Structure 1
């Protein structure tokens, strides 16, 4: 099967939802599919230089190919006429296109080109059809949907949602299409023995608890963005400190597209009682990210809306129990697996769940083991790729 994966950018600056296309492509290739990623050189919307990569020629990586195209004429909107021209010229060489993102000009145009060339395509909305997300620039999105996205949704072989809840709440603008519900995959790290944790190459302030008398380490690792619920989390942690509960809070992440908000969060911590209990690491990736996950005792993400939550799944794969809001759309799976604690999107509920989680090391260990088991069974890339290829085949043979 010859597959296209089309995504506006795979730069790290845009976070996990874009990066997951790399993991999916590698896993599909390992199952025998021929995969080509079409993307742009976009690397941020605030003046960053484009990705320094070869242009419009195949870059071989992990068994699949990537073709990068320059952003032109609208660099800010990750738009590329060259990408669309290439797609139009080569569409008949592929069986199916998996297009990632709606309300992004290059993805919108790619779906239109695919439809004109009779290339079946799947759309993955990345949470853009969630009512909470649609409130942003609401009127502009209504016009955009009426002009473009409704027809793209109606013409798609399927809409790819990463959870039942994401599919349930998504607005289709009156269009009818099939739903493909499959979670995203994550790399499953090899667990380290406790002695290795103790020697992990991390600052002492964020190493795992080699001494059970040390306070537990609570990790927030995600983009620092208003939707992530930090306005709930910081007051909740301040309340727990005032009650005498001890913990170390690790804030990992950044937001190069909104450095002003990131600075607000840092300033808030520096001027609060949390200052002496907090380590701010900035953005982490690679081995540093893996070791940071391995060092944590509890992961927290009280987002206002999250269609999947890749960071949550990564934490679970590392054997860390999680505290998430009921707007992280895999919360029901977490609850059923007893892999963490679920709160509402309010400070009192979050404070209560964190209090319970932080007070019992034994329960954290039990739920962390459940989290890893669930991730192994449901979020490994091999399992996702097998299910995805089967879904592709079924969609291509459907009436």
Structure 2
């Protein structure tokens, strides 16, 4: 198969580039061809590309991309010339130009859209005028025309139905996967603490995601403030690039004199990310909305106990396997209670971490889920 992924393939884009990277490594082992078509702006850092795959960068069109960030005449021109060279075109997300252009140009090549959580009620309510305009420009019609809609969980099935107003003829649930073998060998304990001067006698809570309002920082920060007043032997490390919430976070830290208790350590990659997971006593993501959180999957694969909201994309499985602490509600008080429950019980943290590790190996290893997607590709190609 000749497969084209369309996505903003940069470090700034969050989870989808990581998902594409891991899937592509498996797909290449099966002997298929993979290209990645990405809009970009000069100065952005592309995500790494698996050996054997090809990244095609198309510059965003000035002025228009100020309002519709992914708009790129170069991307349209590439598809216009090469669209029929592919067996499958896989679009990631909605309401960006890369999800519209293939449908504008072609009806023959099999097309897949992965929702990535963007139809969640919380997400859909934000920047709604742009989304309504894109709907007018045929986003709904093109989603109906997709040969396959990949979703990550049953909640997204309801989101697709609500958005389209009718069932889509081919929706399949395939969760995100993680390369569990990447987390077998972690850096020595203490590596992250030493690099960022975090005392060894303090418990470490790790938040690792983009600094964005939807990630629940508005819950975590006040919840941790109340927790640390009673448990001053705890530090919260916030690891992630700024996505609109860093200034608010710094203001909160300064306003409440939490400079010794909350550290912003920037975006972590590679061994630094693994070292943080190895040193953390608890990973937390109290997010309002996730398609299927790669950050939580990676924390679980690394054996780090986790505390999450029920919106991380696979909370039903988490509860079924008792694989994490799940917040009782999306409030600062619930965050504080969750921290007290897990940080106050070493045996409980050890048990949920072991349960999570077992669950991830069985259900979410990348070799398992990537093969599921390849099988679905083959089905829609045969139908074409």
Would you call these one fold, judging by a TM-score over 0.5?
yes
Residue equivalent to 2:51: 62
Task: Note closer, same or farther for the CA distance 1:51–1:98 as it changes in structure 2 (3 Å cut).
Answer: same
Distance 1:295 1:191 in 2: 15
Residue equivalent to 2:146: 156
Is structure 2 residue 255 aligned with structure 1 residue 263? no
- Tell me by how many angstroms 1:349 deviates: 2.1
- Tell me by how many angstroms 1:25 deviates: 1.6
CA root-mean-square deviation: 2.5
TM-score, normalisation: structure 1: 0.87
Is the CA contact (8 Å cut-off) linking 1:150 and 1:173 kept in structure 2? yes
How many residues are paired up? 377
Distance 1:331 1:28 in 2: 28
SS at match of 1:282: coil
**Which among 299, 302, 321 is matched to residue 286 of structure 2?**
302
SS at match of 2:287: coil
SS at match of 1:274: coil
Distance 1:143 1:278 in 2: 40
The superposition leaves residues 189-217 of structure 1 with CA deviations (integer Å, 9 ceiling, x where unpaired) of 344589x314568426448x6xxxx3421
The superposition leaves residues 201-258 of structure 1 with CA deviations (integer Å, 9 ceiling, x where unpaired) of 8426448x6xxxx342110111111111111111111222233463221111121x53
Distance 1:278 1:19 in 2: 27
The superposition leaves residues 170-206 of structure 1 with CA deviations (integer Å, 9 ceiling, x where unpaired) of 4433253321211122232344589x31456842644
The runs of 5 or more residues in structure 1 that have no matched partner are 44-48, 54-58
Residue equivalent to 1:223: 210
Residue equivalent to 1:372: 357
Is structure 2 residue 68 aligned with structure 1 residue 83? no
Distance 2:141 2:356 in 1: 40
- Tell me by how many angstroms 1:301 deviates: 0.7
Is the CA contact (8 Å cut-off) linking 2:222 and 2:332 kept in structure 1? yes
Is the CA contact (8 Å cut-off) linking 1:145 and 1:173 kept in structure 2? no
Distance 2:46 2:175 in 1: 31
Residue equivalent to 2:382: 397
**Where in structure 2 are the equivalents of 1:84-103 lying within 5 Å?**
84-103=76-95
SS at match of 1:172: helix
Is the CA contact (8 Å cut-off) linking 1:42 and 1:51 kept in structure 2? no
SS at match of 2:23: helix
Task: Note closer, same or farther for the CA distance 1:151–1:314 as it changes in structure 2 (3 Å cut).
Answer: same
Distance 1:230 1:142 in 2: 28
- Tell me by how many angstroms 1:156 deviates: 0.3
SS at match of 2:260: helix
**Which among 321, 338, 343 is matched to residue 305 of structure 2?**
321
Residue equivalent to 2:237: 250
Residue equivalent to 1:383: 368
- Tell me by how many angstroms 1:363 deviates: 1.2
- Tell me by how many angstroms 1:81 deviates: 2.1
**Where in structure 2 are the equivalents of 1:1-399 lying within 5 Å?**
1-7=1-7, 9-42=8-41, 49=43, 61-72=50-61, 74-76=64-66, 77-115=69-107, 118-170=108-160, 171-174=162-165, 176-188=168-180, 189-192=182-185, 196-198=188-190, 202-203=194-195, 205-206=197-198, 214-244=201-231, 246-255=233-242, 257-258=243-244, 261-272=245-256, 274-343=258-327, 344-398=329-383
The superposition leaves residues 372-394 of structure 1 with CA deviations (integer Å, 9 ceiling, x where unpaired) of 22222233222221111111112
Distance 1:293 1:366 in 2: 17
Distance 1:193 1:305 in 2: 29
Task: Note closer, same or farther for the CA distance 1:318–1:153 as it changes in structure 2 (3 Å cut).
Answer: same
Is the CA contact (8 Å cut-off) linking 2:203 and 2:281 kept in structure 1? yes
- Tell me by how many angstroms 1:138 deviates: 2.4
Task: Note closer, same or farther for the CA distance 1:227–1:61 as it changes in structure 2 (3 Å cut).
Answer: closer
TM-score, normalisation: structure 2: 0.90
Task: Note closer, same or farther for the CA distance 1:323–1:52 as it changes in structure 2 (3 Å cut).
Answer: closer
Task: Note closer, same or farther for the CA distance 1:336–1:383 as it changes in structure 2 (3 Å cut).
Answer: same
Residue equivalent to 1:46: none
SS at match of 2:164: coil
SS at match of 2:249: helix
Task: Note closer, same or farther for the CA distance 1:51–1:303 as it changes in structure 2 (3 Å cut).
Answer: closer
The superposition leaves residues 72-121 of structure 1 with CA deviations (integer Å, 9 ceiling, x where unpaired) of 35343222222222223222222111111210123212232233xx1110
